[in-house]
């Protein structure tokens, strides 16, 4: 993969990565649950400044792979490097986590906090100055159209609102690499446009985004790189045009994962 924009912009965090190191390098990550191999010795490199879409059918191992890559799930083998810092080593893990902004799928946020309280909690927990936390939290809530819900408990947020507050939490500390698991799931079209604008700005400022999704058209619209995953393995990775190979991403994806042609229900015809 090519390095697109290696220089971080002013909005990104102060922690530097190793010179020339890829934004994310997954080195032989593997995980089994019982007899089932969820992820099998995956290798993947994501250059700085790129927007990678990780696509795959349900149960392909995308969430497991991303969880291991950011330090939320201990791998059986292998490791991951964020801008050269080993996520699973004692020496590198703190810096790696400072560089990552994460939106995991299926993990909760403190339900009994409001959006404002959550962002304040996360910012201060990261030892950020209070004024910076206050200003960034207010802007994030405003831009993500959550300001009106500033006093509503997260427990009463819709799924889309939870995704948005999760994204705000991931962005608050100015990470260099965003790892987002299904960020557009249940997000309404207007908010989706806002999220895309935020992510475009993040990339333009030198950040890197890794995003898992099921929506091929979304990947074609926003990503410049794609990795196709099935049965715990990366089947193909590269630039969007290279992976598509002259057809739509959906057709290329179906061909790669060996999907059977879609069928209708027999009783509809009777």
Partner 1 sequence: MVRVLIALRRTIVRNQLARTNPAMLLIGAGLVLLSALGTIWLGLVSYPSQAAATDVLALVFLLWAGGRVAQSALAGDAVLRPELFSLLPLDRRRLARSLLVVGLLDPAGVFMAIAFAALVARAARLGAAATAVAVLAVILSLALASVLSTIAGAALGPGSRRGHDVGTIVTAVALSVVAVAATLLPALDTALRRGTVPWLADALTWLPTGWGPVAVQAAARGDWLAVFGSLAGLAVLTVAAADWWPAVLSRRMDAAARPAHAGGGRPGWWSALPRTPAGAVTAKEIRMWVRDPIRLTCLLIAVIVGAAVCAIPRLTGGTYLLLPYGGILTAVIAGACACNLYGSDGTSLWLTVMTPDSSRADVHGRQAAWLIVVAPYTVAITVAFTALSGEHAAWPWALAVLPAVLGGAAGLAPFSSLISVQPLDETGGPTPAYSLKVHIALVVVALTALVPVAVLVAAHVWHEPWLSWAGVPVGLATGAGLTAYLGRRAVSGLENRQVRILRVLADAER
Which residues of the chain form contacts with partner 1 (CB under 8 A)? Answer: 70-74, 93-95, 97-98, 100, 102, 104, 106-114, 117, 120-127, 130, 149, 151-153, 155-156, 169
The helix-helix angle for 130-143 and 115-125 (nearest 10°) equals: 140
Closest distance to partner 1 from the beta carbon of 152 (Å): 5
Closest distance to partner 1 from the beta carbon of 168 (Å): 13
Closest distance to partner 1 from the beta carbon of 251 (Å): 33
In the complex with partner 1, the residue whose CB is nearer, 61 or 71, is 71
Closest distance to partner 1 from the beta carbon of 89 (Å): 13
User: Strand (E) positions, 56-151?
Assistant: 77-82, 85-86, 100-103
Bridge partners of 81, per DSSP, are 25, 86
Dihedral sign, Cα of residue 250, residue 251, residue 257, residue 262: positive
In the complex with partner 1, the residue whose CB is nearer, 124 or 259, is 124
Which string of DSSP letters, residue by residue, matches 191-238?
HHHHHHHHHHHHHHTT-EEEEEES-HHHHHHH-SEEEEEETTEEEEEE
Closest distance to partner 1 from the beta carbon of 219 (Å): 25
In the complex with partner 1, the residue whose CB is nearer, 98 or 239, is 98
In the complex with partner 1, the residue whose CB is nearer, 118 or 216, is 118
Phi, psi of 242, deg, nearest 5: -65, -40
In the complex with partner 1, the residue whose CB is nearer, 72 or 143, is 72
Q: How far apart are CA 88 and CA 106, in angstroms?
A: 22
From the list 159, 210, 168, the residue with the least C-alpha distance to 188 is: 159
């Amino acid at each position: 993969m090519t390095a697109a924009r290696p220089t971080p912009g002013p909005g990104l965090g102060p922690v530097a990565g190793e010179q020339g190191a890829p934004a994310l390098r997954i080195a032989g990550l593997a995980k089994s649950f019982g007899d089932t191999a969820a992820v099998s010795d995956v290798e993947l490199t994501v250059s700085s400044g790129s927007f990678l879409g990780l696509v795959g059918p349900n149960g392909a191992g995308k969430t497991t792979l991303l969880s291991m890559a950011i330090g939320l799930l201990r791998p059986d083998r292998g490791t991951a490097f964020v801008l050269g810092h080993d996520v699973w080593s004692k020496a590198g893990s703190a810096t790696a986590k400072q560089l990552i902004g994460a939106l995991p799928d299926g993990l909760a946020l403190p339900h009994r906090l409001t959006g404002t309280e959550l962002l304040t909690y996360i910012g201060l927990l990261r030892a950020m100055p209070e004024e910076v936390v206050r200003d960034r939290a207010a802007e994030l809530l405003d831009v993500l159209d959550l300001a009106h819900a500033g006093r509503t408990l997260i427990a009463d947020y819709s799924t889309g609102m939870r995704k948005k507050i999760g994204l705000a939490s991931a962005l608050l500390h100015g990470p260099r690499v965003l790892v987002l698991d299904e960020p557009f799931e249940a997000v309404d079209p207007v908010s989706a446009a806002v999220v895309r604008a935020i992510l475009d700005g993040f990339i333009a400022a030198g950040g890197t985004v890794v995003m898992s999704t099921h929506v091929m058209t979304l990947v074609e619209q926003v990503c410049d790189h794609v990795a196709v995953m099935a049965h715990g393995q990366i089947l193909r990775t590269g630039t969007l045009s290279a992976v598509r190979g002259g057809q739509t991403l959906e057709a290329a994806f179906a061909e790669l994962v060996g999907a059977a042609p879609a069928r209708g229900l027999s009783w509809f015809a009777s």
